[in-house]
Chain A
Amino acid sequence: MTYDAGHYDVIVIGGGHAGCEAAYAAAHRGAKTLMLTLNLDMLAFMPCNPSIGGPAKGVVVREIDALGGLMGKVIDKTYIQMRMLNTGKGPAVRALRAQADKPLYIQEMKSILENERNLTLRQAMVERLIVEDGVCKGVITETKAAYYADSVVITTGTFMRGRVIIGDLSYESGPNNQRASVKLSEHLEELGFELVRFKTGTPPRVNSHTIDYSKTEIQPGDDNPRHFSYETTEAILDQIPCWLTYTNEFTHKVIDENLNLSAMYSGMIKGTGPRYCPSIEDKVVRFNDKPRHQIFLEPEGRNTEEIYVQGLSTSMPEYVQREMLRTIPGLENSEIMRAGYAIEYDSVVPTQLWPTLELKAIPGLFTAGQINGTSGYEEAAGQGLMAGINAASRAMGRESFILDRSQAYIGVMIDDLVTKGTNEPYRLLTSRAEYRLLLRHDNADIRLTEIGYNIGMISEERYKLFAEKKLLIEKEQERLADVMLKPTEEVQKVIENSGGTALKEAIRALELLKRPEIKYEMIEQLTPAEQELPWDVKEQVEIQIKYQGYIAKSNQQVERMLKMENKIIPENIDYDDISGIATEAKEKFKKVRPLSVGQASRISGVNPSDVSILLVYIEQGRIARVSNE
């Protein structure tokens, strides 16, 4: 017997990075929202590395922030170190990465969620969904509480039938010895969903007091830290460094000798692991010519002595882990606080989702985060935000919200997942984005703030500030297009100092700025703006002018893509009715049910001729309708 525990617009199951964003977004848009999670002390917990951001992922955090989400704001308040990566490269690939204070991150996130109107937090284990007439209507917990809602978002991460493996030890568990969620996974299978088994792993943590840092290299943060959130104004100045050390032939020998004990190699692990996050045993086996591998020692927080040994992810028995660690300079006497482990879990094959992250088979049911086959906090948070927004849309009768591949890394990720699926835990890489020059770290606000505002995620005040910034950028570009710089002594000197070739005749300031060696500050020196511009305005002006040619090229590609994206496939299309499409393509179409011809063309195993035929068929339908009228 169950009891009626209440009615909501949106229920979010899970309180990890996806769940927090989903619950916040739904509530913030005005939906009455309930979050059910196994352990309220573990909201937005980081079970793996203590860092947020990096290439591609960092841009996602900026995008989340531009859309009104939380991750950027929370990490900006709780980082112990901030670094801008790829500063020597182009603007498209610059990436911010923070080392997080794990316990503080949890506290900060919890406090924001607790204070969000419309959001109720409750500790509970969900076992079943309430599905009536094929539509999801709510959830039932193990304590027999039945909660009803228009939309349910599942964000259970690696908890579904989670199994932790250390050497030959294996037990049912979520990450960090939390309870696994078994019944929900079985229930999803009952409902007919296709699940797949994935694996990931984490390295041991050691006690900082037992590390000899003098044998390692210091890795400090930036002196002038940049931030993820466009709302952050204050920097944290007392940053804590990380440390770099290396494995060596002795480490590799220990691994070689004990390879048969590694769960990865003994056959204990059945799930597919990510190639970009291999275990140390994998690295040693696959690249056995490498004499050493990097190991980063990363503090897990300000007020803890636990150090995360990045680079040493492993499923070796605990005593082998200890032996391995002690071959590494600086770690000779290290004491393990938590052993590394591999974890296997169920995830939902993501091609079962619409691009809104709603499941095709059961309206009202959404999934987001690691349950969709991704890996990484940022990937989870990005999906959580989108699922939360769409769950609220459904409950409130608003339009659904999809980002395309030219708008955001979040759009690239979700399109990849729902169109192509994934056969390993999916991680965002800059190389997955064909328009990455448009999807920069620096312009996330320009791409998305307006959208965030329109869906009720961005405040009036912030939108106003954004609009002012945008105007300043445009005005300054116009001004530089008008100003002529004559080859005066002053001008030539500035050019000469930067190592450029002298002017022969007068040149527009905008043209001069296009030269690779010229920076905006030099232009500013020669022809100052009426008022001193904020640094982020200057940055935008410089990037947009300097890389105009490449940006224009990317924009052309986007236009071509959008042409196909705008050819909408009717919802009721019957692929069996189309003669001429190859059987393989037909099966793929039926499974993925692409929304547009553009999406159809990205499905792997679909040939251009199949797409042509699909196009013809759709037009035929259109003609048929016209001639019937």
Chain B
Amino acid sequence: MDIDTITAISTPIGEGAIAIVRLSGQEAVPISNRLFQGVDLTKVNSHTIHYGKIIDPITNEVAEEVMVNVMRGPRTFTREDVVEINCHGGIASVNRLLELVLAEGARLAEPGEFTKRAFLNGRIDLSQAEAVMDLIRAKTDKAMNVALKQMDGRLSKLIQKLRQELLETVAHVEVNIDYPEYDDVEEMTHDMLIKKTNEVYHEIEKLLQMAKQGKILREGLSTAIIGRPNVGKSSLLNALVHENKAIVTDIPGTTRDVIEEYVNIRGIPLRLVDTAGIRETEDIVERIGVEKSRQVLKEADLILLVLNFGDELTEEDVNLFKVVEGLDIIVIVNKTDLEQKIDIDRIKKFANGRPVITTALIEEIGIDELEQAIANTFFAGELDAGDLTYVSNVRHIQLLKQALQSLTDAMSGIEDGMPIDLVQIDITRTWELLGEIIGDTVQESLIDQLFSQFCLGK
């Protein structure tokens, strides 16, 4: 009966070897199918399970290895079409999956919404009705409270500030419309509008950037070390581990028992990943080819590319640069204790603006610079974990992204010379979306703003 397709992570977060993202609604199967590489899910029998891969449709990279359960209504919990995507447990992978599903058009379910749909579609009998209503009440209120409490006080203040700025802008536009002859009020121009939207745009962008940083703080920065044989990859690892007292964790229960090593670099937890055996397989490019290695490496947040100061740049090195094009890398030219044969200028050209550090790891030279470069890459050099205003709630991040999108629409409207009162539709929408984050979307406030900000009337 509801047109929306809803989705949520339906297993406890961060626990268990497997996590499940569930979708319910008319679009559940088509959405899953658009992300799924394997059989055509729209054609499979109901209540069957399928192995395959989830592909990020924008980058075309493999995001997850999954098992997908397809269950068609009405023989499901909600009586709608339901798809359950089983992926590896662990916050990062399941969040990524959820984000992809949301990006494909599903809406994040409200608390208790699956149950509500089950009820509305007649799945639950009458005797359970009251319990369901209590549940919705409790869950919705609680979720709102929790979300609000979760939210950093500074974040909510910042959002309120952005909303106020937007509101003043909108009120200004409205006044021009409703009181066209009042010369007390300056006419809002495209230039004024672009300035305002730009300011807010950057603030939201910063929030999203910090959300990414927040994620890094919680989950660690997945880091891969690559390079030709014998350039000093092991020394690099040892140096980082030695310097920073590596925590070696063994996270059991996932299908591939991955060994991950955490080191703490200036407050940033570096997670030295070895899921694809990148670090140990020295000749990755040769083994699986440029494109494949690229896909594997894209999963890392940071790549440390190690070169030999005492050798000329080889074709293999050049291939590695191709592989990491556009990714976050730090180039480490190691073994400065040897006689220089490498052309640093050429490397800088290949690095294309990304940091190049020279080290002699055996002699423990250059490690400081390297650590600084790592910190710079992700926090513009100013990391103070205690002072970050970051958004952690998926719903909030989703709303911020939508807000950014509607601001983008507004800005392109301005560029196309659309009338201000049309552009304003998108600005108002942004204001509403930001309001949803802090639970305030009362339309009346616009009219109040109108009359307190301007002297109007006949």
Contacts and interface: CB of A to CB of B under 8 A. Distances in A.
Contacts of B126: 620, 623-624, 627
Nearest to A279: B457
Interface string B156-199: 00000000000000000010111111111000000000000000
Contact of B116 (A276, A437, A612): A612
Given A276-B451, A290-B184, A612-B136, A437 B422 contact: yes
Interface in A521-559: 547, 550, 553-554
Nearest to A547: B422
A608 B181 CA distance: 40
B184 A85 contact: no
Interface in A250-291: 274-278, 283, 286-287, 290
A504 interface: no
Contact of A93 (B177, B182, B456): B177
A502 interface: no
Residues of B in contact with A, size category:
35 or more
B382 interface: no
Interface stretch (B42-50, B229-237, B335-343, B442-450): B442-450
B343 to A, nearest CB: 43
Contact of A290 (B418, B421, B455, B457): B455
B177 A430 contact: yes
Contact of A90 (B116, B180, B181, B419): B419
Contacts of A604: 442, 444
A381 interface: no
Interface stretch (B7-15, B56-64, B127-135): B127-135
B364 interface: no
Nearest to A578: B133
Given A613-B136, A616-B119, A616-B136, A283 B419 contact: no
A47 to B, nearest CB: 14
Contacts of B153: none
Contacts of A89: 176-177, 419-421
A519 interface: no
A293 B181 CA distance: 12
B362 interface: no
B455 A286 contact: yes
Interface in B101-151: 110, 116, 119-120, 122, 126, 129-130, 132-134, 136-137, 140-141
Contacts of A210: none
Given A93-B177, A430-B174, A580 B140 contact: no
A437 B120 contact: no
B257 interface: no
A395 B55 CA distance: 64
Given A579-B130, A615-B120, A93 B455 contact: no
Given A89-B421, A579-B133, A516 B416 contact: yes
Contacts of B287: none
B3 interface: yes
Chain B: interface secondary structure?
helix
Contact of A580 (B136, B179, B417): B136
B418 A293 contact: no
B55 to A, nearest CB: 28
Residue among A293, A609, A613, A620 with most chain B CB within 10 A: A609
A431 B133 contact: no
Contact of A609 (B140, B418, B420): B140
Given A313-B458, A615-B120, A431 B450 contact: yes
Interface string A560-600: 00010000000000000011100000000000000000000
A294 B182 contact: yes
Contacts of A626: 122
Nearest to A617: B133
Contacts of B110: 608
B137 A90 contact: no
A369 interface: no
A408 interface: no
Nearest to B182: A294
A608 B457 contact: no
A311 B133 contact: no
B425 A550 contact: yes
A627 B124 CA distance: 13
A430 B122 CA distance: 42
A432 B422 CA distance: 15
A278 B457 contact: yes
A283 B119 CA distance: 55
A277 B116 contact: no
A580 B134 contact: yes
Given A90-B418, A92-B422, A294-B184, A432 B447 contact: yes
A317 interface: no
B178 A429 contact: yes
A207 interface: no
Contacts of B421: 89-90, 92-93, 430
A294 B417 CA distance: 31
A56 interface: yes
Nearest to A278: B457
A142 interface: no
Contacts of B446: 431
Nearest to A609: B140
Nearest to A85: B180
A55 interface: yes
23 contacts: A56-B178, A89-B421, A90-B419, A92-B422, A283-B455, A290-B184, A296-B458, A313-B458, A429-B450, A431-B174, A431-B177, A431-B446, A437-B422, A563-B3, A578-B133, A579-B130, A579-B134, A580-B130, A604-B444, A612-B116, A613-B133, A619-B119, A623-B126
9 smallest A-B Cβ distances: which pairs? A90-B419, A516-B417, A609-B140, A287-B455, A580-B133, A275-B451, A431-B174, A90-B421, A93-B177
Given A89-B177, A283-B455, 13 more contacts: A89-B421, A276-B457, A293-B184, A429-B450, A430-B421, A431-B178, A437-B422, A563-B3, A580-B136, A613-B136, A616-B119, A623-B126, A627-B126
